[in-house]
Structure 1
């Protein structure tokens, strides 16, 4: 009997799809992500339903809309996950292991993982984090923020205090390779999750100088998008760096250069993982899914961070590789969500996808160009005045903002950079979108999305510049004290 395929889920944090060579980038060096694309199928229209860390990740492992487990922002779950992905796969006879950043609540909740070897963005305690323990054994326990300085330096480009071989990016890949070698004689599910290129942008040498600022393209934006008294600009862009006018052009280019450096540093380590699979003779029979939890605006549209439905925030890379069973070097235009990874991995493992899941098995679409996945995507993020929702279908994207009832309509085929809001030209289409969204959220009973006669709407508030944000959470005192 043929052995079950190994399952490898590789996730980056805050990785824009458009920085990969296989998605058309000519500057950023991503030879191993591109290598993976040549080995598999690239989905060009994949999205994060709620583009921020906690909802995106828990939506993936639960197979549900994030709001179904109480997640509309980075917050705690209000409902237990009944059919977590690792547990469903373990039931099929797999060894299950998590390596790197999971961002689970609570931190070490296993959800069916046999082993968890963590490097969290902001660990709660030294004893909860294998990477911090590793740094101490290497004589670097004194580095109290090994993933980069946060607070007001959160978006300031910085060189890592750590040599490359001790950086979290290298540790995550080294640990994943060790797990692969230790389990090469039995089916395994390995979830490998890199913190980077999530800010702070802190590449190790030589990645900090890989991209000279005179070669880095400036952000994509138009002058009208920075209008300071626009009523909806804050909730549309959801700034992580407010007071954007205080950034010089050189500051912005350096930030982008360091982000690119983080991407290439991750790419090199993904190469180590692929090499390990090849050396163990496993790569043909391993289903590899590569993605990100969301993107990063990086100055486009005068915005930073995520939490918005611009493409650079909500759209994610998605590559599915399984050389023994899937085509290689092909692309698909079908719409996809992170929850589809849940259904895809369970199906590949031989399990049955729970009926409650909103995920779609992508393997049929990967095998056959015309196989459908979903006709449209419903997406939502934020609470109260910050609530916004997206309807994505065909060539169009509609966005509704509870703050003032602002709406946008973009034709992504004619306007891929989303500069031309055509909502005023198509009032009837926008009305139909609002009705579809209203019916969708009524069916789920999502009160946050609904008002008395349709979608929720609040009196509009103005954007108030506040300078640089002090990005919380800070590095916990419990970790600092224990790491000495």
Structure 2
């Protein structure tokens, strides 16, 4: 291996909230192996998905660009990545073998974008569909057919975007989480050992369908589940929230309780796969020269403020886990050369970081070229010294022009503005981490200050209609929707996504 370059293993989840880990202080969910990564590395408490939905978030990981720079600030299928200098391409150019197992949600689905190999689990999506083509399904569904269960990936009867629950309907080892973990371990064993390895293990869980293994559900049998938090500002939601409200409008207390149990069980199942990956690296003799990055594309509101799913800038949706763990004992000096001699693990960094920071971080670890004009910053200096920061404030954006939600935060305060109706939210994250109280009315000077920060960031762009003459400019200030208009908004996204027999 040239220059003893370290291996990099990135493990991601889909829909995993930043606060639903043991290491984040959650006293119920069981994540001992992810917690171990935090104990041996650095955990970032204020990590954000700045466009919190699958396709833009994953494009951000791949490019180091935020949604606005990509031109992708909402869910869109079929959009190709706009740059050639992707994360796997930069590492491949630096001599790495680059592999991904699991969910990519990039387009065209089989384009490698710099990966040497891709083994896909795309949650039952028909490949090529955005282009009017029929390219079959991902590798997981093909493998499931080879095991004697053709078309049965969704035989449990659950939809991929709703919160009804049941236990997994096939033998345990056929669960997509088990398959992704197994394939990731197999790729480690089949790697080109003359090259450093970059492996992205991309788990689909805990994204619905909520179909955990029965043995993982049993872990939470005797536990009283938490209930969603409801802020004092939620009596009248911004128009933007109508879709998020619709996911839970028919859910009963029991259904919410079951959704939490299934979500917890799915996260615990992923945690077990993390340990399998660590164990395989150890048995292959390369654990002592491997960096880990653990994160998620976005979170899930899970009923907080009566909202479900993602797409907004409330904590559950946009605050994600991020853990970076360097090798504690490296071969020679190479794997520790990025850290000072007195570095100790188990630190916590409270500055604002985001998914766009992953690409430059991996490049610095690998000694690869960091592309110019990207939005991300390498977090290696923050791993070395947890008191450092790479930015003062962070801007998030979701939605189409005229109907966006925008957020600016420094990790201590968060200001959210809704472009359509002009609603403002301001939260003191240190005193009110669950965002229960909107401080806009009682803190007018502070609100003006944070509004100014957002205006300044938006004005730094070439042109953006959200700011006119130095002021935020809502499309229809104070507008209210009729009952029928609300129903139309709720049906703008086919969120049930029922799946039938796929043969």
Common topology (TM > 0.5): yes
What CA distance in whole angstroms lies between the structure 2 residues aligned with 1:446 and 1:2? 45
Change (3 A) 1:31 1:293: same
Counterparts of 1:83-482 in structure 2, within 5 Å, are: 83-125=85-127, 127-145=136-154, 149-150=158-159, 154-183=162-191, 185=193, 186-212=195-221, 215-222=224-231, 224=232, 227=235, 230=236, 232-236=237-241, 238-239=243-244, 241-242=246-247, 244=249, 246-323=250-327, 324=330, 325=336, 327-445=344-462, 447=464, 449-451=466-468, 454-459=471-476, 460-462=479-481, 464=483, 466=487, 471-472=494-495, 474=497
Task: String of CA shifts for 1:42-99, please: whole Å, max 9, x gaps.
Answer: 1111111111111111011111111211111111537622311110110000111111
CA contact (8 A) 1:237 1:304 kept: no
Say which SS state the counterpart of residue 239 (structure 1) adopts.
helix
Residue 333 (structure 2) aligns with: none
Change (3 A) 1:475 1:85: farther
Structure 2 length-normalised TM = 0.88
Say which SS state the counterpart of residue 195 (structure 1) adopts.
strand
Counterparts of 1:46-61 in structure 2, within 5 Å, are: 46-61=47-62
What CA distance in whole angstroms lies between the structure 1 residues aligned with 2:38 and 2:365? 19
Say which SS state the counterpart of residue 154 (structure 2) adopts.
coil
Q: Which runs of 5+ in 1 are unaligned?
A: none
Q: 1:384 deviation in Å? A: 3.9
Change (3 A) 1:473 1:71: farther
What CA distance in whole angstroms lies between the structure 2 residues aligned with 1:30 and 1:93? 34
Task: String of CA shifts for 1:313-341, please: whole Å, max 9, x gaps.
Answer: 11111010112435422221222111111
CA contact (8 A) 2:21 2:31 kept: yes
Say which SS state the counterpart of residue 98 (structure 1) adopts.
strand
What CA distance in whole angstroms lies between the structure 1 residues aligned with 2:280 and 2:8? 14
Q: Which runs of 5+ in 2 are unaligned?
A: 128-134, 331-335
CA contact (8 A) 1:53 1:103 kept: yes
Structure 1 length-normalised TM = 0.91
Q: 1:360 deviation in Å? A: 1.0
Task: String of CA shifts for 1:356-396, please: whole Å, max 9, x gaps.
Answer: 11111111111113332211111111114530111101511
Judge which range, 64-73 or 446-455, deviates more: 446-455
Change (3 A) 1:431 1:22: same
Counterparts of 1:33-52 in structure 2, within 5 Å, are: 33-52=34-53
Change (3 A) 1:213 1:391: farther
What CA distance in whole angstroms lies between the structure 2 residues aligned with 1:452 and 1:121? 45
Say which SS state the counterpart of residue 4 (structure 2) adopts.
coil
Change (3 A) 1:242 1:37: closer
What CA distance in whole angstroms lies between the structure 1 residues aligned with 2:144 and 2:265? 22
Query: In angstroms, what is the RMSD of aligned CA positions?
Result: 2.4
Change (3 A) 1:20 1:204: same
Residue 5 (structure 1) aligns with: 6
